Structure 1
Amino acid sequence: MIEPGLADGSPIDEMMQLTAQSLNHLEIQEHFNIVKEIGRGKYAKVLLVTHTPMALKVMPKASTKLQGFLREYCISLHLSCHPCIVGLFGIAFQSNEHYCFAQELIIGKDLFAVIQPKLQVGIPESSVKRCVLQISSALEFIHSNGLVHRDVKPENILLLDTHCRQVKLADFGLAQKRGTLIRFITGTLPYMAPELCTVALLEGQTEVTAPPLRVEPSLDTWAFGVVIFCILTGFFPWDRCMDSDSFYQEFAEWCTMKERPDTEEDIPPLWKKFTPEAMEMFAKLLAMDAEKRCSVGEVGAYVEKDWLKKEHVNEQQQTAEKEKAS
């Protein structure tokens, strides 16, 4: 549960009030020709429609509060001027059963779709770096506007081409103002920061004993670090950031060692494919202490350096060539 923020006269608040006052009532089928469903999440779905080339995000009223819809629409509209964020058309309306808004149509796959988990090789490092620079720029812009995305994951990074020459960050359904308090969340996901996992209601639990968590950009920084690992390797580094996860525990112990010799034996097995420079980057992005975590923009200092060891790059190329041949 997230505590509702008081109206503070910010641009987002003003946009929400104006949108609520002018939200027209339309039936989707009467005004749009629905071609097909092109995406679906827990709270909404996205439709390809031919009114003009656009995507229509559709949220059922049964599971969506008007305030939540207005927040997502207005935050998305406010940020959509950035070239690496999905654009909006400024069209929002409601039908009998749904809240809807129109957004830029991206013909292409999301980042998760191009990762091949069975092969566990990720995508080429050059493509990863192009993607990372664009998403870090989008996140810096979001943070400079006093907002936190809170859902940075491969599924929300859309590709306009398969080589990541142009990518766009999508889905602001969980976005919040910096400083908003989170009392609890349900369940955990691999990209959630450890401090976020402390307020998770796990199966069988009825309450959380940890104090409320304040939303900060460091949550996005952690998720961004996990995404970089994921698209370089083809798999997540752990299931959840909790002591019960041995893969996370190994990494946490490596991070918190006071004196860490630079030897292969000290690096957790899943991380041995990375160069020392890449491990330095990950240590900053995935710092256990949220206050010591770097900003997302600091990855730019590492782009000119190798992230994968040469032997792993060769292995990745050989696996990709075999996949093409088959």
Structure 2
Amino acid sequence: MSHRAIVVDRPLPDARPEAILRRVETAAAALEGGIDVDVLFSSVNYKDAIALTGGPGILRSLPLTPGIDVVGRVRTSADGWSAGDTVITNGGGLGERFDGGLAERSAVPAAHTIALPDGMTARTAAAIGTAGFTAALAVQAIATAGVSPDDGEILVTGAGGGVGSFAIALLAARGYRVAAVTGRESLADALVDLGAERVLERSEIDVADGKPMQSSRWAGAVDSVGSTTLVNVLAQTSYGGVVAACGLAQGPDLPGTVLPFILRGVTLAGINSVEAPLARRREAWAELATLPVDVIDSIAPRTEPLERATTIAREVLAGRVAGRVVIDTRA
């Protein structure tokens, strides 16, 4: 039976790859041995936005269906799952090596798939998605390393994005005092509503010629920006602090020094949500399930049909989307 999917095709000479919504008989690059699911919801993450607009570095082969998030219903019993079970898959190669969630049907890797938490709806799970999952891993890395709410403020960069928004909510729920950084002044009130005690303008942190060691300001940080912003965050982190790095919106480079590590004992913790093992996935999602639904909905208020995914992708890359956008694959 055919189903609708957004497929990024091979480009014509001297052209970018093109994302097209069309009917397909089978997944273009179905995961061998994957769990066959009817996709209920997906989302447009930063990675998806790049893939949908023909950008390089995300899709490992073409043609391929983007979408690193899948919330779906199992079609046929397999790998301990029963037909009708609702499952969540984030990463695991979806939308990069294998056909992803921007389709009505997908094959998801069992090693990266968990059950929908009790009491959570499929739409809510998609609203959280990889962004919320990554934020939970980052917050847990800071807490597990021993940074407590009594140690000082936690900085969240890229606070207007999905990862940053969920990081603020999760940190506040644990009792941390949060300082949020954004380049969009219009988001300040919303970030405070999520739990930030104060909001900083991006220029306060993004200083190209910042000193390798700066005044101690943060007990820890969640950074989704990278590059010079991350270097300055490290230089401002207090003794024994932990910085969880989970993104590269500004760039993949790290033009700094080792001084924060060897003079203040700062830890740079890398967060990889793609290959996180099942135990960590279940732990992260258990924490995410404690967030109030109205908080999640405030981060992801929009639900759009599958046919609008590419339009949303352009908005994401242009910085016109705050938080998250859910894609209803059946609409």
- When normalised by structure 1's length, the TM-score is 0.27
More helix by share: 1
- When normalised by structure 2's length, the TM-score is 0.26
More strand by share: 2
The higher-RCO structure (CA 8 Å, 6+ apart) is 2
Please say which structure displays the higher CA radius of gyration.
1
